[in-house]
Amino acid sequence: MPGAAAFFDLDKTIIAKSSTLAFSKPFQAGGLISRRAVLRSAYAQFMYLVGGADHDQMEKMRQFMSQLCAGWDVATVRDIVAETLHEIVDPLVYSEAVELIEAHQLAGREVVIVSTSGTEVVEPIGAMLGVDRVVATRLAEEDGRYTGEIEYYAYAEEKANAIRELARDRGWDLAQCYGYSDSVTDAPMLEAVGHPHAVNPDKDLRRIAEERHWPVLVFTRPVALRGGVRAAVRPTVAALAVGGALAAGGLWWNARRRDLT
């Protein structure tokens, strides 16, 4: 059993958007939501990308999504996600995140996605990325349909609670664990581990990271995952060794690999 793990937020940490809102158009095509709801989702996505997500914004998004999905057929949602997963998510994945996932697993650490998005979206993305475990929000179901209520909300301090519980169950030393997130709402999650990292941080998390001397990482490069995580990582890492500025990137990555191992 590994003695440590790496915990990753999903939205704007591993992928460039809100994973749930990214599926708005396929949900419309599948007859689950109206064009007006798609436009509302697009606006919410824009505000999320521009302004980040503080507690008030996350509460508004929680209410919007729980009301939106009330009455949806659970099997239909899962089928739409499965059918459109690569089309929707592939262009959004940060290759830097894929490289970190690979590095942690090669170093013998389990990788866990801890996300406020729903399990219906997060679990397939986690499987696509080859992570070991997923912690995500669970929507209440009744007779095969969503009720509009939230059974388990993986948010803020609850993420930290989930991490501590997993650590107890798995025998992980939290002081040796790593954490990655973009949002100040995940400060409790990052504080729970010995190696916190701010990824593309919002202004409040950046301020906390600077005050506490947490590393700040900037992820920008997309990667195609159809060949699997390892197949996608190899050419990306090799490319870092080519050419002037890219060679500097290669030196940065080698330093990060040594730090991880």
Active site (catalytic) residues: 9, 11
Task: Indicate the helix (H) or strand (E) that contains 198.
Answer: strand 195-199
Reported for 173-177, long-range contacts at CB under 8 A and 24+ positions apart, including other chains, are 173/3, 173/4, 176/3, 176/4, 177/4, 177/5, 177/6, 177/7, 177/109
Three-class secondary structure of residue 183 per DSSP: coil
Place of tokens 């010995």: 194
The span from the CA of 237 to the CA of 64, in Å, is 40
CA distance 108 to 81: 30
- Compute the C-alpha angle 168/172/178, nearest 5°: 120
